[in-house]
Structures are given as C-alpha cells and as structure tokens.
Amino acid sequence: MAQGPYDCLYLSPHLDDAILSCAGQISLRTREGRSVLIYTAMAAEQVPSPLQANGARFLKLCGLGPDAGRVRRAEDARACARVGAKPDHGDLPEAVYRCDASGRELYPTHESLFEAIRPEDEGLMDRLARSFGALPRAAAVFAPLGAGGHVDHVLVRRAAEQVFGAGLSYYEDYPYAVCRDVVRRLTQPRRAWSTVVVKLDAGARRARAAAILEYASQWPMLFGSRAAFRWRDGWRLWLHGGERLWRRASSGS
C-alpha cells in the first residue's frame, strides 16, 4: 500500500481512466509540489483462467495475452511517472472478466458492460468501499462521474460516495464524456452542481499526451492513430478550456 497522506487522491476504475481524464491537472498539481496518488480498483495482475469469450475478445482487441495484467500495470506505472503521480493497484478483475459462481460471464457482450450492474456484482460495493477506506488520507478526492455508464465506473463512483461523501470532486470519464449528453444527464438538476475548468499550460498538455500514449494496449483501440488522438484530445481541451471537474453545489467548490 502506498504511504501518505497525500494532497490529492484520484480513484480510477481501470488502468488508464484517471490519466485519460485528468493527466493534465495531475501534472500541474505535482509541478506545484503537491503529492498525488492514483488508486486503480480493477487492476488484478492475473487474468482469469479459463478465459471466457468476452474477456478473450477484449485481450485480442488490445493485442494482449495471458500476461495482460502485468503489462497493463507496467503501462500505468510509466504513465503515472510522466505526470509525477504515485500508482497503487487494487486486485479486483475488470467487469469484462467477471463471472458468476457457475463460471458464466456476468457481462458477455461489449454492450452489456454499459447496462445495469448484475445482482452478482452488488457485493463489490462493499469490497471497494473497504479498499477506499484503507487508502492513505488525502486533502482532495476525485472519482469518476460515470459518464458512459460503464459498470465499473458506476461501482467506483457509488463506493466513493459511500466513503467520502460530499467532499468528492468528479472528473469526466474520457473518452466517454465526448458525448455531451451523457455528462448533462448526470449533472441534473444543473443548479445542484458546480463545475471548475482546470486550464492546462503547454507543459501540462504535453505531459497529458505523453502519459496517455504510454497505454500502448489501449490508445490504438480508443483513438485509432496518434494523429487522431492528438486532434481529438486537442479539440476537447479547446472546447472546454481544459479538464472539467464537477462537485455537488451544496458541498462548495
């Protein structure tokens, strides 16, 4: 377990989510001398065996094999180093690998990962909450908003709310949050939310791009090419003026 306390704690469902969404602001914070811990909840080092169909499709799409967990943890460590953050990896498997007691996939298709959380997965809330509660103290805690509705993002958000309550800030899950409607639906009524845009200077933008590109198993699947990534990412940062964070209005800003 990483040592603390920390100035900032970012809760990441998978080995890329916090960096994809927040790498620029993390770089800014660490350059200012602040300490940042990124805790990734679904980061099991061992891929389940036998591997079921949806998990096998995911690994093929990523160009990974049985050592996928080790490879992805190493990618994450390099990405975190790019922005000066400390990585900490949990041991839960991603939803794409999870099965019920009989060995049947809980989420057998890509689409099912963005549907309702299966009843068999509800127990993960308590496990996540215990993991979050055992983390080093942090002055500020950031959790995924849940844009896009991926079950792991939703589980992490709910567990974070259970542990950290009104003090949470929420980041927009990139690239799911590219669709403005998914963010709008999660921040209604609008008067109940406040938002802050973290403006990124040239150094933070460079650190953001370099960190995201460390995920060699993920960015080709998400963006297609380096040029497409740089264009899409630059356009989004321009559109919002930086990386957006959300808070419940009643909790302050």
190-240 pLDDT tens trace: 999 999 999 999 999 999 999 999 999 999 999 999 999 999 999 999 999
Q: Report the distance separating Cα 7 and Cα 21, nearest Å.
A: 18
What is the crossing angle of helices 202-212 and 17-31, to 10°? 140
Which tens digit of pLDDT belongs to each residue from 94-121? Answer: 999 999 999 999 999 999 999 999 999 9
| CA neighbor of 217 nearest in space, from 65, 84, 97, 22 | 65
Strand order in the sheet with 86-89: 86-89, 36-40, 6-12, 138-144, 169-171, 243-248, 193-198
Single-letter amino acid, residue 27: S
For the chain, percent of residues with pLDDT exceeding 70: 97
Single-letter amino acid, residue 140: A
CATH of domain 6-248: 3.40.50.10320
Asked if residues 89 and 79 have their Cβ atoms less than 8 Å apart, the reply is no
| CA neighbor of 1 nearest in space, from 144, 124, 9, 46 | 9
Q: Span 36-64, mean pLDDT?
A: 95
DSSP letter for 13, please.
S
Least confident of 17-31, 82-96, 178-192, 205-219: 178-192
Helix (H, G, I), strand (E, B) or coil at 215: coil
Q: Report the distance separating Cα 202 and Cα 197, nearest Å.
A: 16
Which tens digit of pLDDT belongs to each residue from 141-183? Answer: 999 999 999 999 999 999 999 999 989 999 999 999 998 799 9
Domain residues of the chain, as ranges? Answer: 6-248
Residues ≥6 apart with Cβ < 8 Å to 185: none
**Can the peptide bond before residue 189 be classed as cis, meaning omega within 30 degrees of 0?**
yes
pTM assigned to the model: 0.95
